[in-house]
């Protein structure tokens, strides 16, 4: 890059790599961001987008490569270092104090202010002027804990603008706000660019990229695929860049004969955590002897669908049946009595890490009642059973009296599987069951799912790992914006079409 070209670049990322244990999160990635542009960072879940942004914002240090600002190499030891160079970031998890007002939060996070010496009048005048310039509206006197997600996001942007950022990174900003708030956000983003500020928009949504970005950098598997002008590329071309050809081969597997309907979901609509409709008339069924995979980019209703099926979220419309029994109004315990088990995506959702293995094992009521005598648990029998299951599922642990937190992630997952299938369920809801696991643990869980199916069980697999869905599923459903928008069989899936449905809904 010539000296003249460098003057037209604010940020350069040069050959950056980052590894987390066995996972190569970034591999020799380079990109550049110009003043006054909206630069989209596009990729599937796990492509490396967040890791790259954490490096640019000073949260992480790269293993190799460098960052340049205005052509000069910089080394960030913290987010404060990056902020001093004009770089800010708005995460999905907001850095706010709920008990304080909007104005107090803004003042508190400005350098040189303290909680006891807040210049409320000065802050108010500055903020009101800035919000007017960028089309932001937040009640300065409102308590932050009472704000919506969209209002909190605006507040985070105001905080960054008050620090006079030159580059603002927005990490998946629309995943936590309503469509109306998203349109308002994009208007603010364009105003920022018009004012000469740079914006990195981290997203997996192609429609957003085509609406607001100037240029697009695509990551896949931790590597940069390309940087292109928005006007020179089509949505279908972006889909192909994101997905590539590496996942096209589908793992061969023995097909089981399917039996009766094990799980049926009919016309389910449900409200999400943000108060908007997260599920919009979902229909699906899973038969015995098959794995039905649901794939989609995170945040399109998967969480709510799982919660409705397992009984921890009430639908506003529709019904759920297990083995022909309407369980829509029934609690999780009664669904488990009908033969359903659940593998969550996070261990802490199902395990108490500071408890011993045998204590964790006996927590589910269906298991506890197997070992009760006169309202007391038979400890010796529990330990013997846990020891047998630990051996059968090859859980590496010093003893069944070991606290669970001492086990590796893979062994926690093996233990969880052992516990969930101890009561011999016939239906398993598996929600990102290999998330964060190493290669061996992933292989174990996937083999278990196929073995369970081959023995006549029914599996609903919800996964953000497209390769996992392709390899394990007999049928594949695509979810987008709370709706099932596509269906494929294992033998006839069109990967590019499937990816397009995941990313665009069409």
Which CATH number does the domain housing residue 221 bear? 3.40.50.300
Question: Is the sign of the CA dihedral 69, 218, 27, 434 positive or negative?
Answer: positive
- Kindly state whether residues 166 and 213 are assigned to the same domain: yes
As given in the structure block, the two tokens for residue 483 are 């709706």
- Kindly state whether residues 448 and 383 are assigned to the same domain: no
- Number of domains making up the chain: 3
Give the mean pLDDT of 261-283: 91
Assign 245 a pLDDT band (cuts: 50, 70, 90). Answer: very low
Assign 437 a pLDDT band (cuts: 50, 70, 90). Answer: low
Report pLDDT for 115: 43
- Kindly state whether residues 228 and 255 are assigned to the same domain: no
Reply yes or no on whether the pLDDT at 349 is more than 50. Answer: yes
Reply yes or no on whether the pLDDT at 256 is more than 70. Answer: no
- Kindly state whether residues 446 and 405 are assigned to the same domain: no
- Kindly state whether residues 7 and 93 are assigned to the same domain: yes
Nearest CA to 155 among 84, 78, 91? 91
Give the mean pLDDT of 209-224: 91
Report pLDDT for 258: 79
Reply yes or no on whether the pLDDT at 1 is more than 50. Answer: no
Report pLDDT for 56: 94
Report pLDDT for 11: 93
- Kindly state whether residues 275 and 417 are assigned to the same domain: no
In this predicted structure, which of 91-95, 130-134, 263-267, 308-312 has the lowest mean pLDDT? 91-95
Reply yes or no on whether the pLDDT at 117 is more than 60. Answer: no
Reply yes or no on whether the pLDDT at 474 is more than 50. Answer: yes
- Kindly state whether residues 63 and 157 are assigned to the same domain: yes
CA distances in angstroms from 400 to 381, 393, 445, listed in the order given: 12, 13, 21
Report pLDDT for 250: 38
- Kindly state whether residues 365 and 309 are assigned to the same domain: no
- Kindly state whether residues 181 and 321 are assigned to the same domain: no
More confident residue, 443 or 197: 197
More confident residue, 347 or 133: 133
Give the mean pLDDT of 477-499: 87
- Kindly state whether residues 305 and 378 are assigned to the same domain: no
Report pLDDT for 112: 52
pLDDT in tens, 24-33: 889 999 999 9
Decide which of 371, 400, 424 is a domain's last residue.
424
Reply yes or no on whether the pLDDT at 87 is more than 50. Answer: yes
Q: Are 276 and 326 in contact (CB under 8 A)?
A: no
- Kindly state whether residues 203 and 69 are assigned to the same domain: yes
Decide which of 424, 448, 474 is a domain's last residue.
424
For 401, the domain range is 347-424
Give the HSE-up count for residue 446: Cα atoms under 13 Å, Cβ half-sphere: 21
Decide which of 367, 396, 424 is a domain's last residue.
424
Nearest CA to 122 among 80, 164, 162? 162
Q: Are 263 and 460 in contact (CB under 8 A)?
A: yes
Average pLDDT, the chain: 84
Report pLDDT for 418: 85
CA distances in angstroms from 179 to 182, 183, 278, 298, 358, listed in the order given: 5, 6, 12, 16, 47
φ, ψ (nearest 5 deg) of residue 355:
-100, 160
Give the mean pLDDT of 429-457: 83
Report pLDDT for 108: 76
Give the mean pLDDT of 68-81: 91
- Kindly state whether residues 419 and 431 are assigned to the same domain: no
């Amino acid at each position: 890059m010539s000296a003249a070209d460098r003057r037209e670049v604010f940020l350069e990322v040069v050959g950056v790599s980052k590894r987390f244990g066995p996972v190569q999160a970034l591999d020799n990635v380079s990109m550049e961001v110009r003043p006054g542009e909206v630069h989209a960072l596009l990729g599937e879940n796990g492509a490396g987008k967040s890791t790259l942004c954490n490096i640019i914002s000073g949260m992480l240090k790269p293993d190799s490569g460098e960052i340049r600002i205005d052509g000069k190499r910089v080394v960030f030891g913290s987010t404060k270092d990056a902020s001093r160079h004009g770089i800010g970031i708005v995460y999905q998890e907001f850095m706010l104090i709920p008990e304080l007002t909007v104005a107090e939060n803004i003042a508190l996070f400005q350098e040189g202010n303290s909680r006891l010496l807040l210049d409320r009048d000065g802050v108010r005048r500055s903020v009101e002027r800035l919000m007017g310039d960028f089309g932001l509206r937040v009640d300065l006197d409102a308590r932050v804990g009472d704000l919506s997600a969209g209002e909190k996001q605006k507040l985070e942007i105001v905080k960054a603008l008050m620090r006079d950022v030159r580059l603002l990174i927005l990490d998946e900003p629309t995943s936590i706000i309503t469509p109306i708030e998203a349109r308002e956000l994009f208007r603010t983003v364009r105003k920022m660019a018009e004012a000469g500020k740079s914006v990195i928009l981290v997203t997996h949504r192609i429609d957003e990229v085509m609406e607001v970005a100037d240029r697009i950098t695509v990551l896949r598997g931790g590597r940069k695929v390309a940087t292109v002008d928005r006007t020179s590329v089509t949505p279908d071309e972006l889909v192909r860049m994101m997905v590539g050809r590496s996942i096209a081969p589908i793992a061969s597997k023995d097909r089981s004969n399917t039996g009766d309907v094990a799980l049926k979901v009919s016309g389910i609509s449900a409200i999400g955590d943000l108060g908007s409709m997260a599920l919009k008339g979902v229909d699906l069924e899973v038969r015995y002897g098959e794995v039905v995979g649901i794939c989609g980019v995170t945040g399109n209703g998967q969480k709510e669908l799982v919660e409705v099926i397992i009984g921890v979220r009430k639908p506003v419309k529709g019904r759920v049946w297990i083995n022909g029994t309407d369980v829509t109004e029934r609690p999780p315990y009664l669904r488990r009595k009908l033969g359903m088990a659940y593998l969550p995506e996070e261990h802490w959702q199902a395990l108490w890490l500071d408890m011993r293995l045998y204590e964790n094992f006996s927590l589910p009521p269906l298991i506890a009642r197997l070992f009760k005598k006169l309202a007391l648990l038979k400890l010796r029998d529990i330990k013997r059973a846990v020891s047998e299951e630990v051996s059968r599922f090859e859980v590496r642990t010093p003893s069944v009296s070991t606290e669970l937190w001492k086990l590796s992630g893979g062994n926690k997952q093996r233990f969880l599987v052992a516990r969930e299938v101890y009561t011999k369920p016939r239906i398993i809801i598996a929600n990102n069951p290999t998330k964060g696991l190493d290669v061996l643990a992933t292989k174990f869980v996937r083999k278990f799912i196929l073995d369970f199916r081959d023995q006549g069980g029914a599996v609903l697999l919800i996964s953000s790992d497209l390769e996992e869905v392709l390899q394990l599923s007999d049928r594949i459903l695509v979810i987008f914006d709370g709706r099932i928008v596509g269906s494929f069989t294992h033998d006839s899936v069109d990967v590019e079409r499937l990816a397009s449905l995941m990313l665009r809904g069409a």
